[in-house]
Amino acid sequence: MGLANAFLVAGANSVGSTLWKIPDEATAELMVRFYRNLSSGTDLGSALRQAQLSFLEEPRWRDPYYWAGFKITGNRRNPLQAAVTKNEP
């Protein structure tokens, strides 16, 4: 939690990180799914969980090595929803 905690102390609302080195291709695919979930209004934790669960459905990404190391630390609130709310009249 060291580096994530440093970002939180510095003012970040939340931090996405990994517990181990994950191949770039798997990370890119997981992030596409994660941000797709965020854009539908899901909170951070649920968006990550849904993306991780979707990896279980594909033989190529099924091994937990590719998805289980990702975590969200801090506030689960969706920052995309907060931005939309601020811009509404």
Q: What is the pLDDT of residue 82?
A: 58
Question: pLDDT in tens for each of the 89 residues of the chain?
Answer: 578 888 888 988 899 999 999 999 999 999 999 999 999 989 999 999 999 999 999 999 999 999 999 999 988 888 777 554 555 55
Q: What is the pLDDT of residue 21?
A: 96
Closest listed residue to residue 47, CA positions, set 22, 75, 82, 76 = 76
pTM of the model: 0.82
Q: What is the pLDDT of residue 1?
A: 54
Q: What is the pLDDT of residue 5?
A: 85
Q: Using the 8-state DSSP alphabet, how is residue 65 labeled? A: G
